[in-house]
Structure 1
Amino acid sequence: MTATYTSDDVRARLRRGMETGVLSFPLTPFDADGALDIDAFRAYLRDQIAAGPGAVFPCCGTGEFFSLAEDEYERVVTAAVEEAAGALPVVVGAGYGWAQAARFAAIAERAGADALLLMPPYLVEAPQEGLVEHVRRVAASTSLPVIVYQRAQVKIAVSSIAGLAAIPNVIGLKDGHCDLDQLQRLKLAAPPEWLFFNGAATAEMQARAYRSIGVPAYSSAVHAFAPEIAKDFFRAFHADDHERVELLLSRFYVPLVELRDKGIGYGVSLVKAAAKLRGLPVGSVRAPLADPPPEHLEQLRALLDTGLDLVR
């Protein structure tokens, strides 16, 4: 199976999706022994797609890309493409050094993914010319469109935009730094057709600030476990229903961030724990992540009840 869309097609489909729904970053289910549970993934992803996101991004940070073997990655991407069935774009993660990222890119292309989200290289800090060359080498290995993800040790300089824009299949940037001054400079320097979206850990918290510089699209970790809440916030946000937005922020999102900040790795493990509390068969996180302790699970359960009550 191979993708049939050009970079322009994918960019246009993603742009339309970003206007109509959040970007879903699905979890990867594991069974009690820690093995990939592909049937559970399919069932879970069907529910995610039914909730109406603008696109799905399997095998990324929330999907524990960092813990997947290549054969597991291929099974997850293949299942995602089959379940999406062309109804919405499937953008998959690729990462580590450029040689390994190219191997994942080849798997994603064979499986029929629409695009790649190129995550930061493993461990190393690098100069700007090295970062551009990293993207260039990965992009040259595939015909898939590439979205560059800046977070952690990767921060793209304005001076690097021309080099990235010269790579034909680079179509945009996901931002995880929340430095709006820097992001605005990048956006002004980038080609006008590039896609930009907010990739903060709990992106709804910064959604209004990002929109103020022309970046209204965002990924939603909450969609991974409570699409009802994520959809309600998205509707209120786009309707400029400020009272509703502030109610959801103050009663649900702010407490969620405060709980998330109590544990290391909670950007993933707390999300997965919330899905388990809702009865979704996603299993536990893989090491080196760890499930939250009982006292945090009780706080999470109460917070979920509050959030769901708000949208019922």
Structure 2
Amino acid sequence: MNRTSPKGILGFPVTPMKRDGEIDTEAFVKNVEFLLENGLDAIFPVCGAGEYTNLDDQEYEQLIELTMETVDGKVPVYTGVGGNIQEAKRRARISEAQGVEGYLIMPPYLVQGSQDGLYEYFAQIAKSTNLNAIVYQRNNAILEADTLERLTEIEQIVGFKDGNGNMERNNEFTHRFAGRIDFLNGMPMAEVTMAAYMPLGYDSYSSAISNYIPHISRQYFDALKSGDQEAAKEIYEDVILPLNRIRGKGKGYAVSLIKAGMEIVGLPVDKAVRPPVTPVDPAHFKEMEAVLKAALEKYPSKTYEKFKA
């Protein structure tokens, strides 16, 4: 087992759904193929963007199986587990049986646990299989340094993904645990904050916009890595900030706005989502259309045609 987490831009495919609520498996496969075509460095199906909490076990397993068949060893595959600890362990075993490299452990359901409780939650799930595990800090799962210290001693835990945004704590973590664990930026629309995270040692991020404009995310990431501040600033102002402003206009847009973006660029996905997520408001959809039209005129890509619906 390669005890390290994926590096670079991480793809988190959505779960396309038909109007009747059933999963559109053909569209899902095309989404994964599109991410691979555009050079995403790992695929994370059935996580937050994939509406993990709205899938039953059969759907969960089916989507992992389709991902493994489509990826065919080209890049690492990590799944999502979490919420109810028993469900998380069960889905970790499903993931292991499907041959994935690891999983992202999402926060526990609802309960605001103590540091000891959070340690046991992450530790028990990580130890339930031999797969690599990445701890996801956000919402009700905020770790103190001593708790993360204990978690780094668990062989299966290879990464720490931050979705909280406390930069003082992030700076402490990367200094204290450098070389012992990998660090991933998991903030909503991570491109918004990556310029601040990268100098701390966060060399990977989960990209929502890569579901529909992956080439722009790549150009931005490459500009940050190479120190091309002018190019990074231009993409940030042209594309990233306008999309982020729209994302902040609705609850659940972390998921539904991705599907809206995919529909706008012509990829095979419907706006359908499962409650409590709701589709993007028509006015916000039009705003997004305008942003993406301008973005694709300035930053064109030839990869869309073969994947269009």
Instruction: Check whether TM > 0.5.
Output: yes
| 1:235 corresponds to which of 201, 222, 234 | 222
Q: Which amino acid aligns with 2:295?
A: G
The alpha carbon displacement at 1:160 in A equals: 0.5
The aligned counterpart of 1:311 is 299
TM-score by length of 2: 0.93
2: CA distance, partners of 1:142 / 1:163? 18
Counterpart for residue 167 of structure 1: 154
Q: Residue 123 of structure 1 corresponds to which residue in structure 2?
A: 110
Aligned counterparts of 2:298 and 2:229: Cα–Cα separation in 1? 15
Q: Percent identity?
A: 34
Distance 1:135 1:153 in 2: 13
Task: Measure the CA separation in 1 of the matches of 2:167 and 2:89.
Answer: 31
3-state DSSP of counterpart to 1:59: coil
CA gap of 1:128–1:151, structure 2 versus 1, over 3 A, is same
For residue 77 of structure 1, what is the amino acid of its counterpart?
A: I
Q: How many residues align?
A: 299
Give secondary structure in 2 for the equivalent of 1:125. coil
- State the Cα distance separating 1:121 from its structure 2 match: 0.5
One of 259, 262, 265 as aligned partner of 2:246: 259
TM-superposition CA deviations, 1:185-205 (whole Å, max 9, x none): 122333623110111111111
Q: Is 1:23 paired with 2:6?
A: no
Q: TM-score, normalised by structure 1?
A: 0.93
- Taking the TM superposition and a 5 Å limit, the aligned residue runs for 1:208-227 are 208-227=195-214
Q: Which residue of 1 aligns with 2:307?
A: none
The residue type equivalent to 2:238 in the other structure is: R
* Cα displacement string for residues 114-150 of structure 1 (whole angstroms, at most 9, x for unaligned residues): 1010000011110000001011211221111100000
Hey, what does 1:99 align to over in structure 2?
86
* Partner in structure 1 of residue 182 of structure 2: 195
Structure 1 segment 56-67 matched on structure 2, within 5 A: 56-67=43-54
In the alignment, what sits opposite 2:28? 41
Instruction: Report the 3-state secondary structure (helix = DSSP H, G, I; strand = E; otherwise coil) of the residue aligned with 2:121.
Output: helix
Once the two structures are superposed, residues 83-113 of structure 1 have per-residue CA deviations (whole angstroms, 9 ceiling, x without a partner) of 1111110011001122110011011111111
Q: Please report how far the alpha carbon of residue 80 of structure 1 lies from its aligned counterpart in structure 2 after TM superposition.
A: 0.8
Shift of 1:184: 1.7
CA distance in 2 between partners of 1:52 and 1:309 (Å): 21
Give 4+ residue runs of structure 1 displaced > 3 Å after superposition. Answer: none
Question: 1:56, CA displacement in angstroms?
Answer: 0.9
| 281-290 vs 105-114, greater mean Cα deviation | 281-290
Secondary structure of the 2:184 match is strand
Q: 1:292 aligns with which of 269, 280, 305?
A: 280
Alignment partners' CA distance in 1, 2:262 and 2:146: 41
CA contact (8 A) 1:228 1:308 kept: no
What residue ranges of structure 2 are gaps of 5+ in the alignment? 301-309
